[in-house]
Amino acid sequence: MDRDDKEIEYAPITIAALGFNKHLMPDVVNSFGYLFDINAIEDTIGVLFDSSIFDYRADKNKLLVRVIIGGAMRKNSAYKDNIIEVAVRELQRSAGIFAPFEYAKIIRHRYAIPQYGLEHKDILENINRFETENPGLLITGNAFYGVSLNDCVKSSYNILERIKHL
């Protein structure tokens, strides 16, 4: 593949995974979670109530919450030393969660969210050309055709269809 100065930039995020006693939680936790208006946030992109979405992620009397910190507009936030404090403060502000957490884990992703710049079309054309020149080699991932889970699933199905016609 032609190497030039076109690289996909990534935004970092840090996940603060916090566990709580479910019986001490407000009703808002019985939802998917929420994302924030990029103009209205300081550090946090969004909050996901993981065990409300996927009940196997925590015991039935517990709640697992993921607070997503950083992103393209707040890159430095992902590298803060006080991530747990940032997460707790956000949960208090936006969800009314004041109960103490029983579990905490910090997960840092330096290359988390691909950023599609002005040259992204050129990158995709370069990949398509490379695949054409190398039959049977297929390239996919969230860095090319969409970052969402739905985009990645769609891209995977497209790859499967292409494999069927090799």
* pLDDT average per 10 residues of sequence, the chain (166 residues): 70 98 96 90 94 94 97 95 97 96 98 92 93 93 89 92 91
CA-CA distances (angstroms) from residue 53 to 17, 38, 144? Answer: 14, 24, 27
Instruction: Determine the pLDDT at residue 14.
Output: 98
- For 128-146, what is each residue's pLDDT tens digit? 999 999 999 999 889 999 8
Instruction: Determine the pLDDT at residue 148.
Output: 86
| Cβ-based neighbour number of residue 17 at 10 Å | 18
Instruction: Determine the pLDDT at residue 26.
Output: 95
Instruction: Determine the pLDDT at residue 65.
Output: 98
**pTM across the whole model:** 0.84
Instruction: Determine the pLDDT at residue 1.
Output: 58
CA-CA distances (angstroms) from residue 166 to 125, 140, 145, 158, 162? Answer: 20, 16, 21, 13, 7
Instruction: Determine the pLDDT at residue 85.
Output: 98
- At residue 142, φ and ψ (nearest 5 deg) are -75, -5
What domains lie within the chain, and their CATH numbers?
A: 9-114 (3.90.660.20), 116-164 (no CATH)
